[in-house]
Amino acid sequence: MKVCIIGTGYVGLVTGACLAELGNTVICVDNDEKKIEMLERGQVPIYEPGLEEILRNCHAKDRIRYTTSIAEGVKASEIVFIAVSTPARPDGSADLTAVAAVAREVAENLDGYKIVVDKSTVPVKTGEKVAETIRRYSAESVEFDVVSNPEFLREGSAIYDTFHPDRIVIGTASEKAARALTDLYQPLDAPVIITDINSAEIIKHASNSFLATKISFANALSRICEKAGANVEEVTRGMGLDKRIGTQFLNAGIGYGGSCFPKDVSAFVKISEELGYDFRLLKEVERINREQIDFFFEKIKQTLWILEGKQLGILGLAFKPNTDDMRNAPSLVLIDRLLKEGASIKAYDPQSMDKAREELEGIQYCSDPYQAAEGSEALIILTEWNEFKEMDLQRIKGLLHHPIVIDGRNIYDPARMRELGFTYQSVGRF
């Protein structure tokens, strides 16, 4: 099939790459000329394992091309995906300016029946607005259908998630559009849910909010476990083996971040409010998340007391491993607070330091974890990269000024750390 993807962020670029890899002809559109030039040169603007290879392979086979022109993309395609960002406004609601502008430009360039698919995460009822917009700005005789097809891929494992989805959600009132999308995704062999647009849009917000709720639940448990002398990992494992609960997304730590959960939970709270429902459960999820980083900061202060003039080594800046993404990374909040207390910071992250430099000034960026540890009063773990799990801890101990590790991601076994002679603090464990 001929597919156009508008927006080359994580979702758009990965979707475009994977659809091209499945044999479709894909045209990716972005209004950022620099990004399009980079992609044409074979460079990938984001770090996502496996993405560069797929793009290179599909480009060589002429299955994917790039343009800044929506008109060109729409005219060349049967299915047009909207995958532009929907950032949070200061009041927490989703900013749909880009979706609206794209819908209008798509409408102005419709030259025959097309299926317009919304892949951006949007509040319920956006599909209706997109359809209204397209009707308003397109030629009267032209036919089109609108579909909501939310995306569930995770950064860092986006390619795997796209090829092995747990489910594919297709929200539309049109049987013809539902059939076309089912055919498009047929090679993936995943359960397909065909539903109305509003339900599809809610499925996305509800899924992310529920996962965030699991994380906040685990973080609340970590607080109780610390007070009770219990181990949160044992507790969540014991709970999670009940298949009705499940073991995933129950890792306590320093709270969720990234470009999705914080934005989507607050957008869901906001849209619920607009619909006349006060989603207090989710407000509490957000509060627990904010508190978790305060609690970790206090843990550092309790361990090290006065921070003024102390050098701290930080391992991990990205909001999670296998990505270079710094959006809403808990490290940003924590490092800001440590700097305000007068600490000096030596930091290392395997992928995100270029992006971190744009946001975090006044810290020293290191070339490996050992350099971050050298001469530091303590080592603080903020992202659970495998590289940190596999470090030579004896060497780290020798490099640190004091053998103190404060671990926000529970990556080491507390008993082993004690055996090695570390003062070791983690989250919800003893």
* Residues forming the site for ligand UGA (CB under 6 A): 121, 151-155, 208, 211, 215, 249-251, 253, 256-258, 260-261, 264, 319-320
Shortest CB 319 distance to ligand UGA, Å: 4
Shortest CB 253 distance to ligand UGA, Å: 4
* C-beta of 231 vs 251, nearer to ligand UGA: 251
Shortest CB 211 distance to ligand UGA, Å: 6
Shortest CB 30 distance to ligand UGA, Å: 18
* C-beta of 138 vs 425, nearer to ligand UGA: 425
Structure tokens belonging to residue 254? 């320093």
* C-beta of 300 vs 400, nearer to ligand UGA: 300
Alpha carbons 216 and 324: distance in angstroms, whole number: 24
* C-beta of 263 vs 346, nearer to ligand UGA: 263
What sign has the CA pseudo-torsion 9, 159, 65, 180?
negative
Catalytic residue among 4, 18, 225, 260: 260
* C-beta of 257 vs 428, nearer to ligand UGA: 257
Q: Reply yes or no on whether 366 is catalytic.
A: no
Cα distances (angstroms) measured from residue 280 to each of 122, 134, 158: 20, 35, 31
Tokens 């499925």 belong to 203
Shortest CB 232 distance to ligand UGA, Å: 11
Structure tokens belonging to residue 227? 């007070």
Alpha carbons 183 and 177: distance in angstroms, whole number: 10
Structure tokens belonging to residue 183? 């055919």
* C-beta of 9 vs 414, nearer to ligand UGA: 9
Shortest CB 282 distance to ligand UGA, Å: 15
Active site residues: 260
